[in-house]
Structure 1
Amino acid sequence: LMRVDSDFLMINEKTRRLSRIPEEIKARGEPYVRNLDPLPIDNKFENSGKLQKIYEDKADHVQNGIKPLWFDLDPNQHAHNVKYISWILEGTPESVREKCELEAIILEYRRECGREDVLKSLSVASNGTPQEFHHLLLLENGTEVARARTLWRSQSIK
């Protein structure tokens, strides 16, 4: 099972400022929104503070030269939000991806990523534990695109 909490906002393309979402737009999305009680999760993970900035010289894993592909883009020529998650998960050490399964992710989008942008993915084990990682996606010029924290658990025997 999965729990997703989302906040939506609208940005005026000309002023680059937040704008109110028109009632007409809200009404169109209403059939797709369910207001359910959240599933119980590990609140220690969710409430363990701000997502950390990672510095390249302290990162356990660095991946350079990441570029959005054509089908990674939305109609505004920005990378889909799911693609950010993919880049973050790929930035987790292979040994963790092979032996564990993702239990939880907290993600903070910082800015848009366009078709011509080239990114760098950094990850570091949190407090030296192999189950929790902090992640950072950066543009080549150092501008932050997204921060994340992931929690992994040993794979269930199937």
Structure 2
Amino acid sequence: MIFEHYFDKQFELRYFEMNRLGLATSTIILALLEETAADHSYSINHSLFDLNKKNVGWVLVSGILQIDRYPGYKERITIRTWLSSYSTIKGYRENIIFDEQHNIIGRAKGLWVFFDIEKRKPIPILNDIKEKWPYYSEESIVKDIKKKIETTNVASHIKKFKVNRYDTDMNKHVNNIRYLQWVIESMPEDIVDNYSLHIIDGRFIAEAKYGDSIISLTNDMKDHSFMHTIKIEGSDTICGNAKTYWRKN
């Protein structure tokens, strides 16, 4: 893939980012994708901290992550990111993950909304951001990530959590990575021990806040796939829904 409007960031995988097999975890991959997006913002002089001072920022509303091979300890990877389209308030961020031989080992796509942090509502993307981030219509994954994912009401596996301060980010809501961690924690132990997350397709619906009690619901489907819902205990508030697909190690 050759075009002008991408941003590359290199990483060397560290010891604490490994699982028991010596491979990067799915939550680490998601964290590296977020770090790449943050650096892309920094590269156009609109760092997330600068935006936060203006009480604005980016919020992920839906996304898909596909990992075909997890990198190992000390392995160097490159994450390439770009914007494939914009509307007034939102944009699609594409990602491809390369290994050192430039093989594609993962892909991700996210729909991000520009957000007024204090008013908790979407606002128009700054013109300067659009000018410095020209879009390119190539997609990393051809997938409609606006399509609704049904809520899981009957669960095979349930786990409960308390939202702590370290679960929230500078935009005062639960960080995206926590939702993936909550999903994985509610998975059957046999799956987590013997399979790797291949695809997660998720939708964020409502915010979870510091002090909330969270219920993570997981329901078994066929062929090592699962449906997930994260909700706030004691209410009808659904924070997010997701589908996951797992592969044998």
Confirm or deny a common fold (TM above 0.5).
yes
Separation (CA, whole Å) in 2 of partners of 1:79 and 1:14: 15
1:134 to 227, 231, 234: 227
Instruction: Report the structure, 1 or 2, having the larger strand content.
Output: 2
| Identical aligned residues as a percent | 24
TM-score (norm 1): 0.77
TM-score (norm 2): 0.51
How much has 1:38 moved relative to structure 2?
Answer: 2.4
Contact 1:96 1:130 (C-alpha < 8 Å) held by counterparts: no
Contact 1:123 1:134 (C-alpha < 8 Å) held by counterparts: yes
Gaps of 5+ in 1: none
Separation (CA, whole Å) in 2 of partners of 1:85 and 1:72: 12
Matched, 1:78 2:173: yes
| Structure 2 counterpart of 1:146, one-letter code | G
Relative contact order (alpha carbons < 8 A, sep ≥ 6): 1 or 2 greater?
1
* Stretch moving more, 79-88 or 18-27: 18-27
Q: How many residue pairs were aligned? A: 143
1:54 to 144, 152, 156: 152
1:107 to 202, 207, 223: 202
1:98 paired residue number? 193
3-state SS of paired residue (2:169): coil
Separation (CA, whole Å) in 2 of partners of 1:51 and 1:73: 24
How much has 1:153 moved relative to structure 2?
Answer: 0.9
Provide Cα deviations, 1:61-111, integer angstroms capped at 9, x if missing partner: 0112x1233322111321111111111111111111111111101010111
Runs of 4+ in 1 over 6 A off after TM superposition: none
How much has 1:39 moved relative to structure 2?
Answer: 5.9
How much has 1:122 moved relative to structure 2?
Answer: 0.3
Contact 2:164 2:211 (C-alpha < 8 Å) held by counterparts: no
How much has 1:12 moved relative to structure 2?
Answer: 3.3
Contact 1:52 1:147 (C-alpha < 8 Å) held by counterparts: yes
2:238 paired residue number? 144
User: Closer, same or farther in 2 for the Cα pair 1:78/1:14, shift >3 Å?
Assistant: closer
How much has 1:17 moved relative to structure 2?
Answer: 3.7
1:20 paired residue number? 124
Provide Cα deviations, 1:31-61, integer angstroms capped at 9, x if missing partner: 9x98765268xx7xx89x7422111xx2100
How much has 1:14 moved relative to structure 2?
Answer: 5.7
Contact 2:195 2:247 (C-alpha < 8 Å) held by counterparts: yes
Gaps of 5+ in 2: 1-104
